Amino acid sequence: MSFRKEKKFRVTVSDFHKFQSHLHQQGMKTLFEPRLITSVYFDTPDLNMFNDSEEGLLPRKKVRIRWYNDDKLFTLENKTSSMEGRFKVTSKLENHISESELNTKKRMDAQYGHIQPTLKVSYKRSYYVFNKMRITFDKDICYQNLKYADTRKYHDPERVIEIKIPANCPDDFVETYIPFPTARFSKYSRGILFLLGDLNEG
Answer whether 171's CB lies under 8 Å from 5's CB: yes
Residue-number span of the structural domain to which 11 is assigned: 4-196
Q: Is 158 part of a structural domain of the chain? A: yes
Exposure string for 114-131, b = 16+ CB within 10 A, e = fewer: ebebbbbbebebbebebe
Q: Is 156 part of a structural domain of the chain? A: yes
If you write DSSP's letter for every residue of 148-170 in order, what string do you get? TT---EEE-S-EEEEEEEETTS-
- Nearest-angstrom CA–CA distance, 159 and 138: 6
For the chain, first and last CA: distance in Å? 39
The string of pLDDT tens digits covering residues 114-135 is 999 999 999 999 999 999 899 9
Instruction: Quote the pLDDT of residue 3.
Output: 64
- Indicate the SS3 state at residue 128: strand
Q: Is 201 part of a structural domain of the chain? A: no
156: domain CATH number is 3.20.100.30
Residue 34's contacts (CB-CB under 8 Å, 6 or more residues apart) are 124, 125, 126, 127
Please tell me the total count of domains within the chain.
Answer: 1
Which H or E run contains 18?
Answer: helix 13-26
Q: Is 190 part of a structural domain of the chain? A: yes
Q: Is 202 part of a structural domain of the chain? A: no
Tens-of-pLDDT digits for all 202 residues of the chain? 556 788 899 999 999 998 899 899 999 999 999 999 999 999 999 999 999 999 988 989 999 999 999 887 899 999 988 877 778 899 988 766 777 887 888 999 999 999 999 999 999 999 999 998 999 999 999 999 998 777 789 999 999 999 998 888 887 888 888 878 888 899 999 999 999 988 888 6
Answer whether 107's CB lies under 8 Å from 63's CB: yes
Answer whether 133's CB lies under 8 Å from 31's CB: no
Q: Is 30 exposed, middle or buried (0-12, 13-18, 19+ CB in 10 A)?
A: exposed
Instruction: Quote the pLDDT of residue 115.
Output: 96
Q: Is 146 part of a structural domain of the chain? A: yes
Q: Is 111 part of a structural domain of the chain? A: yes
Q: Is 177 part of a structural domain of the chain? A: yes
